[in-house]
Amino acid sequence: MNKKIAILIIVLVVILVFTLFYVTNNSHAGNVVNLNTSKGYTTIQEAIDAKETLDGHTLLVYPGVYHEYVEVTKTLTIEGKNRDETIVEPGNTSVIIVLVQANDSVVANLTVRGSTFGIWCRNVRGCSVLNNRVVNCATGIRLDRSGKNEPALCNCLVKGNEVLNCTLRGIHLYDAFNNTVTDNLIQNTTGGSYAAIDIEYSYNNTFVHNQLKNNECGLWMNTGAFNNTIYYNNFINNTLQVRTYGGHTTWDSGYPSGGNYWSDYVGTDANGDGIGDTWYTIDEENVDRYPLMSPTAFP
């Protein structure tokens, strides 16, 4: 009898352990947790606005669909636990899904979909937009300074995002400088007169290791864009690879590093160094002197 009781106790303990493990790992579904205070909230905005949430805190967003307009007014890290299952869609009246208005904030690992603007960083410095999936927006990711008297937008990082099926622009920089846009996939932008990457009144920005694929226009050097550096990007099967309007841009990092890959480049590589023997001409002011013969590795 004692042996049977002991076996039963062991079985009950095992069941209890597995139950606690399941509850611990699934009790936050559809919720937002401040990792610094351990407090939970039902919406992202509620977590941001809470008096216990302070600059420097991290908000972990658990899988679920969040119908809300998110305004980041504190220096926070807002991170989805699972990008594909942590989805933010606009509320009934909002045209912006995530608006970042605090310096040095991070928005990471979310799926953002179905609005005029997906993620918009405005008048900030040092913010990071990382590993998000932005789908079916008019403009996917926007970095800008909204007015001449506002703080300059600078030193931001846009990295590792997928920006898909936008109807105007994939990534848009307006009145922005010293930012880095890298390792992003921008695909199927149908903007007509706009582009997958639109650079406007912006300078000293670096665009490297991005993949611009199957867009109506790959990149637009718009009004007031100058002294930007663009290399190691893959321009693949865009109806128009680049549209330019004005200022000079650097399209390569010299030899032997090379420039960008252009799917419509028709030059040869006689010495087999992986770099085309002739320039890829964009316009009379802009050329890629060292076009790559093969696409660069993409994450």
pLDDT digits (tens), the chain, 299 positions: 566 665 555 555 544 544 444 334 444 556 999 999 999 999 999 999 999 999 999 999 999 999 999 999 999 999 999 999 999 999 777 899 999 999 999 999 999 999 999 999 999 999 999 999 999 999 999 999 987 778 889 999 999 999 999 999 999 999 999 999 999 999 999 987 899 999 999 999 999 999 999 999 999 999 999 999 999 999 999 999 999 986 789 999 999 999 999 999 999 999 999 999 999 999 888 999 999 999 998 77
Q: The tokens 């977590």 sit on which residue? A: 47
pLDDT tens column, 183-233 = 999 999 998 789 999 999 999 999 999 999 999 999 999 999 999 999 999
Q: Specify the pLDDT at position 196.
A: 98
Determine contact, residues 120/100, Cβ cutoff 8 Å: yes
Q: Which CATH number fits domain 31-288: 2.60.40.60, 3.30.2420.10, 2.160.20.10, 3.40.630.30?
A: 2.160.20.10
Q: Structure tokens of 28?
A: 């936050």
Q: Structure tokens of 249?
A: 């841009």
Going by C-beta distance under 8 Å and a sequence separation of 6 or more, which residues neighbour residue 70? 44, 45, 48, 78, 88, 97, 98, 99
Tally the C-alpha atoms within 13 A of residue 46's C-alpha that lie toward its C-beta.
Answer: 11
Q: Specify the pLDDT at position 21.
A: 43
Q: Specify the pLDDT at position 26.
A: 42
Which residues, in sequence order, are bridge partners of residue 174?
A: 144, 200
Q: Specify the pLDDT at position 13.
A: 53
Q: Structure tokens of 74?
A: 């504190």
Determine contact, residues 70/57, Cβ cutoff 8 Å: no
Q: What are phi and psi of 47, to 5 degrees?
A: -65, -40
Q: How many CB atoms are closer than 10 A to CB 31? A: 16
Going by C-beta distance under 8 Å and a sequence separation of 6 or more, which residues neighbour residue 193? 217
pLDDT tens column, 92-113 = 778 999 999 999 999 999 999 9
Q: Specify the pLDDT at position 152.
A: 86
Domain-wise residue ranges, the chain: 31-288
Q: What three-state secondary structure class fits 88?
A: strand
Q: Specify the pLDDT at position 173.
A: 97
Q: What three-state secondary structure class fits 257?
A: coil
